[in-house]
């Protein structure tokens, strides 16, 4: 590896030295997707790929996570680079030769790519001349259970954030121009909370509605009324989303069901608003249900907090991306996404930045057709590498 100064030629060097390894690892992980904390085989693949590198390796972190530590040539702070490892309960429809071999599981959020890019960065930074340039320590954090399990929270509870001065993570991003890095100071991803609601009516014969309190009709009214919270009660310049993604009731066409159930998610950026919404949802649902001779019960869970970038870390990432990819491929975002991300738990403890890496106009994250051009992988590995070099350059 011949990258003496700056980042010139770094993408090409990563591509030439490790491009094939990175793609092979990504395909290997893609073929065998694992959910939540249950990422044992993925962890084994990562460990095999890291073998022979001058790393101190800790396994079994947050069940099947890994923290690999690389000491640089000089003394200095410790930074961390984090990748998520888990897949989704989606049936893959990409038709790729290395498509998921497990029905109903798929890497549809690109975490296979994140993991292989981070391994690529570990391989690159372990090379003598680059390692010498690191004044400090790099921790490569492989985290399970991003998709709802809160693996990031568990890692923080287990002390992974301790002794780290700054942390970065990448996410592949459909809809952003291919090979473009984007981030911003402050909030970049929303708080992502979830709820379940039960409408408790009175069941009965489908022909005798006057003898029941129809949970289906009441649920329909409640679902509609809940939409007025965001549209009529939240300041229009304040971002908020209330989505009911599940609704269900009944067992047969001629029975009025006693109960109906719905499940949904609430996304906010403002913390006060975040904590105010559940109470209003409950009041409104109970009010509507009681007006119709039924009751409503809300079960609300605060899941992932806002992913809030440190302004200096975000600026560092943009500066590095600009010099690595070109200024036109380093974009400062105007707005956050209302998606959620458990990297938020690290950023509650540490300064750092979450960065989107564009994969162009492809099928969206969490869709059965999600696929991306693998040329992005060495670019992402180079970006992580360059961020570490820059953060530990003094």
Per DSSP, helices labelled H in the chain are 10-31, 40-50, 111-125, 128-133, 151-157, 215-228, 271-291, 311-325, 344-349, 376-391
Please state the closest distance from residue 365 (CB atom) to Zn ion, in A: 5
Is the CB of 45 or the CB of 111 nearer to Zn ion? 111
Terminal CA-to-CA distance of the chain, rounded, Å?
22
Is the CB of 109 or the CB of 240 nearer to Zn ion? 109
Please state the closest distance from residue 1 (CB atom) to Zn ion, in A: 30
Is the CB of 121 or the CB of 170 nearer to Zn ion? 170
Please state the closest distance from residue 174 (CB atom) to Zn ion, in A: 11
Please state the closest distance from residue 84 (CB atom) to Zn ion, in A: 6
Q: Does 118 bind Zn ion (CB under 5 A)?
A: no
Is the CB of 109 or the CB of 256 nearer to Zn ion? 109
Instruction: Locate 289 and state its tokens.
Output: 């249900």
- Under rule CB under 5 A, which residues in 91-110 are in contact with Zn ion? 109
Which distant-in-sequence residues (6+ apart) come within 8 Å of 38 by Cβ?
63, 64, 144
Instruction: Locate 243 and state its tokens.
Output: 């989505």
Distance from C-alpha of 242 to C-alpha of 143, rounded to nearest angstrom:
28
Cβ atoms 11, 382 nearer than 8 A: yes
Please state the closest distance from residue 109 (CB atom) to Zn ion, in A: 3
Count of C-beta atoms within a 10 Å radius of residue 335 = 10
Is the CB of 109 or the CB of 289 nearer to Zn ion? 109
Is the CB of 192 or the CB of 388 nearer to Zn ion? 192
- Under rule CB under 5 A, which residues in 26-65 are in contact with Zn ion? none
Q: Under rule CB under 5 A, how many of the chain's residues touch Zn ion?
A: 1
Please state the closest distance from residue 340 (CB atom) to Zn ion, in A: 9
Choose among 182, 227, 223: nearest CA to 336. Answer: 182
In the complex, the residues that contact Zn ion under the rule CB under 5 A are 109
């Amino acid at each position: 590896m011949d990258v003496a100064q700056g980042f010139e030629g770094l993408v090409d060097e990563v591509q030439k030295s490790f491009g094939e390894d990175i793609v092979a690892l990504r395909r290997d992980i893609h073929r065998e997707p694992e959910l939540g904390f249950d990422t044992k085989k993925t962890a084994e693949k990562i460990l095999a790929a890291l073998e022979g590198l001058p790393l101190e390796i800790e396994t079994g972190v947050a069940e099947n996570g890994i923290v690999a530590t690389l000491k640089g040539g000089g003394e200095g702070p410790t930074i961390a680079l984090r990748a998520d490892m888990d897949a989704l309960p989606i049936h893959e429809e990409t038709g790729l030769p290395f498509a998921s071999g497990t029905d109903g599981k798929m890497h549809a959020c690109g975490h296979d790519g994140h993991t292989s890019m981070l391994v690529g960065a570990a391989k690159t930074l372990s090379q003598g001349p680059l390692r010498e340039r690191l004044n400090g320590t790099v921790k490569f954090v492989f985290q399970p259970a991003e998709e709802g399990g809160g693996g990031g929270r568990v890692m923080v509870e287990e002390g992974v954030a301790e002794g780290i001065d700054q942390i970065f993570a990448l996410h592949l991003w459909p809809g952003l121009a291919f090979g473009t890095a984007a981030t911003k100071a402050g909030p970049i991803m929303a708080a992502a909370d979830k709820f379940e609601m039960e409408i408790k009516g009175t069941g009965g014969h489908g022909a005798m509605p006057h003898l029941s309190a129809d949970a289906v009709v009441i649920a329909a009214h409640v679902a509609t009324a809940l939409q007025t919270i965001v549209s009529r009660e939240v300041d229009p310049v304040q971002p908020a989303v209330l989505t009911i993604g599940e609704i269900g009731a009944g067992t047969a066409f001629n029975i009025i069901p006693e109960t109906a159930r719905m499940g949904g998610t609430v996304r906010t950026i403002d913390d006060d608003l975040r904590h105010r919404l559940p109470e209003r949802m409950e009041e409104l649902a109970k009010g509507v249900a009681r007006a119709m001779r039924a009751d409503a019960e809300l079960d609300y869970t605060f899941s992932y907090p806002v992913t809030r970038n440190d302004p200096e870390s975000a600026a560092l990432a943009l500066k590095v991306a600009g010099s690595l990819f070109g200024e036109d491929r380093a974009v400062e975002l105007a707005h956050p996404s209302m998606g959620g991300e458990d990297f938020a738990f690290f950023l509650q403890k540490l300064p750092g930045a979450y960065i989107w890496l564009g994969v162009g106009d492809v099928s969206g994250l969490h869709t059965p057709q999600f696929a991306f051009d693998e040329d992005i992988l060495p670019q992402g590995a180079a970006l992580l590498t360059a961020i570490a070099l820059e953060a530990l350059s003094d």
